[in-house]
């Protein structure tokens, strides 16, 4: 599978442990970047960079509140992950994998007849 | 994800209420099609690993019905009811998939079989009546598969992606 750009693929965005930590922190509510950086023990530019990636894939939104910019979780952005890890699509992908194996066996059996 | 199974994005007008799944099987189209036409075949591959089915009736024709119970590995049973709305051997099968006869939430899937050299590409396009029903189906199948397995797969996937990222 071709590797999608981190900034456009939600799966790649959450592959980074710090970014997953940010999402977990934001579950409790909106936070400014300074607080997030402190909680994560990283400098602010680094935290901002992670937030930018998360925002670009639609997992985080931001808004200006007075002098501060607050970051919040956009949980809907996780939908592709949720759907991929289960649900209808996985059910059928797995069924089709079994179908493929079954038909290949069938083909072999017919050839041997 | 395996080499054969692959979901794909869709650009159609019904994109927000449909799910498209496709794969390529290394076998002739007639044979792949045949695997959909008889219960002795279908019961061998329907559902993810560990799932089994008990069939009450199976009549592969337009207007015919496949009435069955699907057994999940955790012991839960699910009533399933399928009727075929179009059969064009060996190219196309359309079916309506619900939980019982006249289920108002039934949804239609269209399977297209395309010969690709000596292999076959199958595409299954499922269109749900509404975006909400698409969401409900996703949730229902989540429940069917069980959360624990799902999470462990996610962990594996994320680890794999992370590893690839570090190698770049």
B50 pLDDT above the threshold of 70:
yes
CA gap B147, B138 in Å, rounded: 13
Which among B7, B28, B140 is the nearest to A89, CB-wise?
B7
Tell the residue number behind the tokens 């985080």, with chain if given. Answer: A60
Q: Is the peptide bond before B90 cis (omega within 30 degrees of 0)?
A: yes
Tell me the count of A-B CB pairs closer than 8 A. 124
Q: What is the pLDDT of residue B2?
A: 36
Whether A97 and B35 lie within 8 Å, measured CB to CB: no
How many residues are present in chain B? 168
Give me Rg for the CA atoms of chain B. Answer: 17
Max Cα-Cα span within chain B:
54
Q: What is the pLDDT of residue B147?
A: 46
Whether B21 and A86 lie within 8 Å, measured CB to CB: no
Q: What is the pLDDT of residue A37?
A: 96
Cα B160 to Cα A11, A51, B41, B167, distances in angstroms: 11, 22, 34, 11
Which among A17, A94, A103 is the nearest to B27, CB-wise?
A103
Which among A17, A88, A95 is the nearest to B138, CB-wise?
A88
Chain B CB contacts of A101 below 8 Å: 45
B42 pLDDT above the threshold of 80:
yes
* CA A79 from centroid of its chain's CA atoms: 8
A91 in contact with chain B, both atoms CB, cutoff 8 A: yes
Tokens at residue A103, please?
A: 């038909």
Give how far B63 is from chain A: nearest CA, Å: 23
* Closest residue by Cα to residue B123 from B91, B81, B162: B91
> CB–CB of B55/B68 below 8 Å?
yes
Average pLDDT over residues B74-93: 94
Q: What is the pLDDT of residue B146?
A: 58
A11 in contact with chain B, both atoms CB, cutoff 8 A: yes
* Closest residue by Cα to residue A77 from A97, A96, A61, A94: A61
If one counts every other C-beta atom within 10 angstroms of the C-beta of residue A21, the result is 15
B119 pLDDT above the threshold of 70:
yes
| Fold of the A1-73 domain | Arc Repressor Mutant, subunit A (1.10.10)
Q: Is B82 exposed, middle or buried (0-12, 13-18, 19+ CB in 10 A)?
A: middle
B68 pLDDT above the threshold of 90:
yes
Tokens at residue B3, please?
A: 């080499």
Least confident among B64-68, B76-80, B94-98, B111-115: B76-80
**Domains located in chain B, CATH noted:** 5-167 (3.30.530.20)
Whether A86 and B48 lie within 8 Å, measured CB to CB: no
Which site among B1, B16, B17, B27 would you substitute to test the A interface, given the most A Cβ atoms closer than 10 Å to its Cβ? B27
> CB–CB of B27/B116 below 8 Å?
no
If one counts every other C-beta atom within 10 angstroms of the C-beta of residue B153, the result is 16
Which chain A residue shows the shortest CA-CA distance from B32?
Answer: A103
Chain B CB contacts of A99 below 8 Å: 25, 32, 35, 45, 122
Domain ranges of chain A: 1-73, 77-113
Per-residue pLDDT of chain A (113 residues; tens, 9 = 90+): 445 555 568 888 988 989 989 988 888 889 999 999 999 999 999 999 999 999 999 999 999 999 999 999 887 787 777 766 667 888 888 899 999 999 999 999 988 88
Q: What is the pLDDT of residue A64?
A: 95
3-class SS shares of chain B: helix, strand, coil, % to 5: 30, 40, 30
Tokens at residue B43, please?
A: 């019961």
Residue A6's SS3 state is coil
- Cβ contacts of residue B15 below 8 Å, gap of 6+? none
Chain A CB contacts of B2 below 8 Å: 93, 97
Which chain A residue shows the shortest CA-CA distance from B162?
Answer: A15
Residues of chain B numbered 54-113 and touching chain A (CB < 8 Å): none
């Amino acid at each position: 599978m071709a590797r999608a750009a981190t900034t456009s693929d939600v799966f790649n965005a959450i592959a980074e442990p710090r970014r997953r930590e940010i999402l977990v922190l934001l579950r409790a509510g909106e936070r400014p970047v300074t607080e997030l950086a402190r909680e994560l023990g990283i400098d602010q530019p680094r935290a901002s960079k992670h937030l930018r990636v998360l925002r670009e894939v639609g997992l985080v939104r931001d808004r200006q509140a007075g002098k501060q910019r607050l970051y919040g979780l956009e949980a809907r952005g996780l939908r592709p992950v949720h759907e991929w890890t289960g649900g209808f699509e996985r059910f059928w992908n797995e069924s089709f994998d079994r179908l493929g194996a079954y038909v290949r066996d069938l083909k072999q059996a017919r050839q041997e007849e | 994800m395996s080499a054969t199974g692959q979901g794909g994005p869709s650009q159609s007008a019904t994109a927000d209420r449909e799910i498209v799944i496709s794969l390529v099987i290394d076998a002739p189209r007639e044979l792949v099609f045949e695997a959909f036409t008889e219960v002795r075949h279908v019961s061998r591959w329907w559902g993810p690993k560990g799932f089994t089915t008990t069939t009450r009736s199976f009549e592969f024709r337009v207007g015919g019905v496949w009435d069955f119970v699907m057994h999940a590995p955790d012991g839960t049973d699910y009533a399933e009811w399928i009727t075929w709305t179009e059969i064009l051997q060996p190219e196309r099968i359309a079916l309506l998939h619900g939980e019982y006869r006249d289920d108002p939430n039934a949804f239609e899937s269209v399977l297209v079989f395309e010969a690709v050299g000596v292999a076959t590409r199958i595409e299954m396009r499922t269109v749900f009546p509404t975006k909400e029903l698409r969401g409900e189906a996703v949730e229902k199948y989540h429940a069917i598969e069980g959360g624990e397995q799902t999470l462990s797969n996610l962990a594996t996937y994320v680890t794999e992606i992370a590893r690839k990222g570090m190698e770049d």
